[in-house]
Amino acid sequence: MQSVVKLALACSLVAMVVACDRPSQRPPQAPPTGSYAQPYGAPPGAYPQPYGAPPGAYTQPYGAPPGAYTQPYGAPPGAYTQPSPSTPSPAGPATPPPAPTASAPLPPVSADPLNQLDLAFMRQRANGVLTELRSVLPQGQASAVASIPLIVDDTPGEVNAFAACPKQGPVMAVSDGLLEIIAQMARAKATDELFGTSKLSDYIKLVSNQQQARQPIVRPAPGFFEPSQDADGRKVARQHALFDEQVAFILGHELAHHYLQHTGCAGAQPAFVTPADIGRLLSNAVPVFNQPNELASDMNGVTNLLQAGKVRSGQHWNEEGALMVLHFFISLMQMDPADRLLFAFQGSHPPPELRIPIVQQAANQWRSTGGAAGAWPLPLPLPLPFP
């Protein structure tokens, strides 16, 4: 009898040991909900970096530059201490907002200068972008354009940018009207990307239907942009990147006219001019429809903006802004051919349909070299994409 009891106890002990060694049959625990490890709208785990960034380059949320925001969105580091040049700084030392983290979206922005169409801010950004473009030019080109001033044409309804060589010396110009249009396009496209709207096409229709010659740029009615979407921090960061890219394409193109010696200003001293001189300067601008020169400036300008974008500490620029500008004018023409005469920008440059493949080819060529500098000026592709 004792042998039987001992045998039963031994079997019980063996069963307990086997049960302890057996893998758990409980289902795996689901990951915690509510995490924000990928950009807005991306499937879980699909994109660990923001829009347009190379894989693995960033770990912060959509559109956020590395580190804390110590200046307004889109401003070069240290350039500003308040949201807009027109807004005074508060008394006492400024306290930067906390750095965005990968676990939360960017905070809303209540008074963004692009949303407010702050022209003073846009002019300063244009000069900041121009400084970045000059800083990466090869030495010969950089020295040729180091001091060329950028003047702003504030004529109501003027939409243009150009390079010129009046008697006073070389200049570059951009109009308030063009800056406002590209700000609205950046605002609309960023909204479309984030919220699935169609604001960009609606804005282009508005301009096509309502813009009048020599009149202030038509603006959407209140409520066109939904307030909570308009203030979304991710959308604000994205629109600043798109605004800078468009400005970089426009100014990179005009800058190239000078260092490629299309203006006849080689060796001349920079001009001292004012916006009141704009009408006279236009008569000295690069000749209309000099298509080889225009396309050469596109190629070199795109390379310039990509090179500048490569070394930026925040959002890297690409050719997307260039294509936005060109598609804008194509869309206007498709809606109303008379719009070709509405904006001086279209009259002083080749048709955008010819420029788009040049922009794309320049970007592809730059990437094929790994973004290597020192290959400027770039040769035009042969055959040229026009008769």
Could you give the CA distance from residue 292 to residue 318 in angstroms, rounded to a whole number? 23
CB 315 within 8 A of CB 135: no
Identify the residue with better confidence: 280 or 228: 228
- For range 115-130, the mean pLDDT: 97
Q: What type of residue sits at position 299?
A: M
Judge whether residue 275 has pLDDT over 60: no
Decide which of 287 and 351 is more confident: 351
Residue 294 is predicted with a pLDDT of 85
Return the pLDDT at 259.
92
Instruction: Flag whether pLDDT at 317 surpasses 80.
Output: yes
Percent residues over pLDDT 70 in the chain: 59
Mean pLDDT of 89-112: 57
Instruction: Tell me the per-residue pLDDT of 155-165, one tens digit each, with 9 for 90 and over.
Output: 898 888 988 88
Query: How far, CA to CA in Å, does 86 sit from each of 72, 170, 244, 260, 265?
Result: 13, 30, 19, 36, 35
Residues above pLDDT 90, as percent of the chain = 43
Q: Which of 39-53, 65-79, 101-115, 198-212 has the largest mean confidence?
A: 198-212
**Residue 277 predicted with pLDDT over 90:** no
Please state the length of the chain: 387
- Per-residue pLDDT band for 341 (boundaries 50, 70, 90) equals low
Is the pLDDT higher at 106 or at 180? 180
Average pLDDT over residues 230-247: 97
Using pLDDT thresholds of 50, 70 and 90, give the confidence band for residue 262. confident
Cα separation, 326 vs 28, whole angstroms? 52
Rounded distance between C-alpha atoms, residue 186 and residue 188, angstroms: 5
Q: ∠ CA 76-78-84 to the nearest 5 degrees?
A: 75
Identify the pLDDT of residue 140: 87
Tokens of 340: 């070709």
| Arithmetic mean of pLDDT over the chain | 73
Q: Residue 67 above 80 pLDDT?
A: no
Reply yes or no on whether the pLDDT at 10 is more than 70.
no
383: confidence class by pLDDT, cuts 50, 70, 90: very low
pLDDT: which is higher, 250 or 41:
250
Average pLDDT rounded to a whole number, residues 73-100: 39
Residues 6+ apart with CB under 8 A from 234: 39, 40, 61, 62, 63, 105, 106, 194
Q: Is the pLDDT of residue 286 over 70?
A: no
User: How far is the C-alpha of 140 from the C-alpha of 151, rounded, in Å?
Assistant: 23
Domain layout of the chain by residue ranges: 119-368
Local confidence band at 11 (pLDDT 50, 70, 90 cut-offs): very low
- pLDDT value, residue 276: 53
Q: Determine the Cα–Cα distance for residues 58 and 62; give it in Å rounded to an integer.
A: 9
The average pLDDT across 40-68 equals 39
Residue 369's pLDDT is 84
